Amino acid sequence: MISRAPLAWSVAGLLAAIALPWYALQEGLDSGAWLGGLWSSEDYASGLAQTIEHGKWWLAPVLVALVICLATALMQTRQRRGTLLLIASAAGLLLFAAQALGIGLRGWSTGWLTTVFGELDSRQVGLGAGGAVVMVALLSLLSIGLALRGGFGGDAFVAGAVTTVAASIVLFTAWPILRILIQAFQDGDGLLAPALLVERLATEKIWSLRCLAGGGRCGVAWNTLFLALGCGIGTTALGLAFALIVTRTSFGFKKTLRVLTVLPIVTPPFVIGLALILVFGRAGVVNQFLEWSMGIEPTRWIYGFQGVFLAQLFAFTPVAFLVLIGVVEGVSPTLEEASQTLRADRWATFTTVSLPLMRPGLANAFLVGFIESIADFGNPIVLGGDYGVLSTEIYFAVVGAQLDYGRAASLALLLLVFALGAFFLQRRVVGTGSYATISGKGDSGLPTPLPALARRAAAWVALPWAAFTLMLYGFAFVGGLVKVWGRDYTPTLDHYTKAFAVERTADGLLWTGAAWNSFWTTLKLAAIAAPLTAALGLIAAWLLVRQRFAGRSALEFATMLSFAVPGTVIGVAYVFAFNVPPIEITGTAMIIVLCFVFRNMPVGVRAGMAAMSQIDRSLDEASLTLRGRAPQTLVYVVLPLLRPAIVGALVYGFVRAVTTVSAVVFLVTAEYELATTYIILRVINGDYGLAIAYSCALIVLMLAVILLIQFAVGDRRLGRRAVALKGGRA
């Protein structure tokens, strides 16, 4: 049975090499213009034609490797078939990669190749349909070969999934990031000069500490660190306060609190910054009122550290809350009761039992706050004034008057070091101690009420904060409904009409609003990206949790890589890596989709891993005993139990795709303009009304989509109950 797969892939690869254009077409496949020139035209020729007719001799070995694979697949004996297949496909892939990387737009792509082989009087452009299918075929053959040799438990599906996930992560995460980071060690002409990194990083602008010694500005590295520490601590504290209020008090508006936690996640990145300006800016409501009532001079305090810090607190506290709520709920009442039986009072119980048990949650929440803060671009750009942080500094090193990619890359490296440092710190803090409080045994106790002091503190911090968040959103909403905020408060729908006007003409509806183009593109691309993100994330999670294979931890690290790298760096990295052959996709919709998918996949992986570890392995084993194979087990047993995780990954994939800005600034084109880049342009031009109107529309859209996804994937409560039930019995 297994022999059909290698046969099919070899044939598919060879067909693609004969009947599809090898290189990318200027006008796209759907035009059909290539059909006529498949043999004769150098632009349209297939792989075979390129080799024979157009002097691309270096493609020949790849095609030969495919033919050998076909021959192997047709072999009668089973013996050594796996080995042969493995060798042939691996050699094919290697040769494929070598020619793709070695020969570019201007012949040999590096100097030493030219010196060794002499000038090459030929060139190649980006891979097209033919080349891509051949590559996928070779990869599949490789995984089948591995499985035939007994790798991955002899399961071709597992082998295929691992190769797919690994290859796509290498191509679309590791490769672009490495490419940009290497620039940190290169001078302007691309020569390696490691000393340059030191020179670039050891400057006053980055490390000066003069702001502490009174007067002067601190370096951007310190600015970033201070902000991230503040944000990490602040969001953790606030998130904890909210989590305690929701789980341990009889507070009446828990539902409202829950809704408040979703809002910032679906908010485009600069709305909070804008709302803060509308409220606290010099012409903002608060200052105007103070001046009018008490004659206090309006100030500009919102621009700088304070403003960015506030905005980040508003934006990221809900995330900390979401991380902490599970942990706070999970602390077993039994232990607290035991503590009280031992005559500890409520306060002692809280500080010595409950809080330490929450340590992993607190560390996680801090980590998330820290990383979100250093990667944040929207808030510092709107509110930073002249308080520079690394993310804005990188942006301006690329687009500003300096145009220094080397500097941008070194700063990105620094940012990556900060992020990784936080990861390791978190691991150290959590340590190896046991925090397990949920076991198979029933928890019959009731959660201990909070000590009065903690309760009051939590309420005093959290409730004004919640009220404040509501107020900010209220103002932001109103800001889209008045003519010019701060000057002319006449209510108007102008901004909405300008953005979303639809005219009825003889030919039907005419979408004349300025925002429609970017709106539909965003919707379309996010809708393509979300399922891909979820699928890839969940497959990766399933592999990481359920399968044992060599290189598992390396794969796990690689999946997390793009999460730690700030968006601007990813964006520039994508332009660098994918503007030149072999993969030449800048200016297309695909590069934007890929950027969405690989940037947001880590969260899908995490969600999937968490959910998967709740499902008892014995269910998989039962399926296997009943002769279900890996794919059937995945489809019929694991996936139905994963509904909450699927919903989560889909929603997150979609929402992040709609709200992301820094990563896609360099990837958008006129044809594929996105909502967020359109909004930031309006903000830069000072057109706040339209920006806010558009953002409000996006928020409504995302809430609608979240509901739709929940509806489509199915009731998550039902899924959960099933999980709990089966987990309990096992």
Least Å distance, CB 140 to another protein, is 5
For the segment 505-564, give every residue that binds another protein (CB under 8 A): 528, 532, 535-536, 539
Which CB sits closer to another protein, 360 or 628?
628
Least Å distance, CB 27 to another protein, is 4
Q: How many CB atoms lie within 10 A of CB 381?
A: 22
Q: Segment near another protein (CB under 8 A), from 56-64, 134-142, 337-345, 417-425?
A: 134-142
Residue among 381, 412, 569, 609 that touches another protein (CB under 8 A)? 381
Residue among 13, 82, 92, 104 that touches another protein (CB under 8 A)? 104
Which CB sits closer to another protein, 8 or 290?
8
Q: Distance between CA atoms of 718 and 726, rounded to whole angstroms?
A: 13
- CB-based contact 356:464 (threshold 8 Å): no
Least Å distance, CB 237 to another protein, is 29
Residue among 428, 441, 487, 729 that touches another protein (CB under 8 A)? 487
In b/e form, how buried is each residue of 662-700, taking b as 16+ CB within 10 angstroms?
A: bbbbbbbeeebbbbbbbbbebbeeebbbbbbbbbbbbbe
- CB-based contact 5:144 (threshold 8 Å): yes
Which CB sits closer to another protein, 435 or 549?
549
Amino acid code (one letter) for 343: R
Pattern 197-236, another protein, x by CB under 8 A: -------xx--x-x---xxxx-------------------
- Spatial neighbors of 259 by CB under 8 A, at least 6 apart, are none
Q: Segment near another protein (CB under 8 A), from 65-73, 104-112, 249-257, 321-329?
A: 104-112
Outline where DSSP puts E strands in 434-592.
Answer: 482-484, 488-491, 503-505, 508-510
Residue among 181, 589, 637, 639 that touches another protein (CB under 8 A)? 589
Residue among 154, 333, 513, 587 that touches another protein (CB under 8 A)? 587
The interaxial angle of helices 60-74 and 81-102, nearest 10 deg, is 170
Residue among 38, 100, 161, 325 that touches another protein (CB under 8 A)? 161
Pattern 235-274, another protein, x by CB under 8 A: ----------------------------------------
- Spatial neighbors of 540 by CB under 8 A, at least 6 apart, are 165, 555, 559, 601, 604, 605, 608
Which CB sits closer to another protein, 148 or 265?
148
Residue among 52, 75, 201, 399 that touches another protein (CB under 8 A)? 399
In b/e form, how buried is each residue of 650-660, taking b as 16+ CB within 10 angstroms?
A: bbbbbbbbbbb
Residue 605 phi/psi, 5° resolution? Answer: -60, -50
Which CB sits closer to another protein, 572 or 612?
572
Pattern 652-691, another protein, x by CB under 8 A: -------------xx-xxxx---------x--xxx-----
Which CB sits closer to another protein, 667 or 723?
667
Least Å distance, CB 402 to another protein, is 6
Return the SS3 of 140: helix
The DSSP secondary-structure symbol of 23 reads: B
For the segment 37-96, give every residue that binds another protein (CB under 8 A): none
Q: Segment near another protein (CB under 8 A), from 276-284, 345-353, 499-507, 614-622?
A: 276-284
- How many amino acids of this chain bind another protein (CB under 8 A)? 98
Q: Distance between CA atoms of 614 and 440, rounded to whole angstroms?
A: 12
| Cis bond upstream, residue 194 (ω within 30) | no
Q: Distance between CA atoms of 73 and 161, rounded to whole angstroms?
A: 21
Least Å distance, CB 580 to another protein, is 5
The DSSP secondary-structure symbol of 25 reads: P
Least Å distance, CB 564 to another protein, is 23
Which CB sits closer to another protein, 400 or 728?
400
For the segment 430-469, give every residue that binds another protein (CB under 8 A): none
Q: Distance between CA atoms of 17 and 179, rounded to whole angstroms?
A: 29
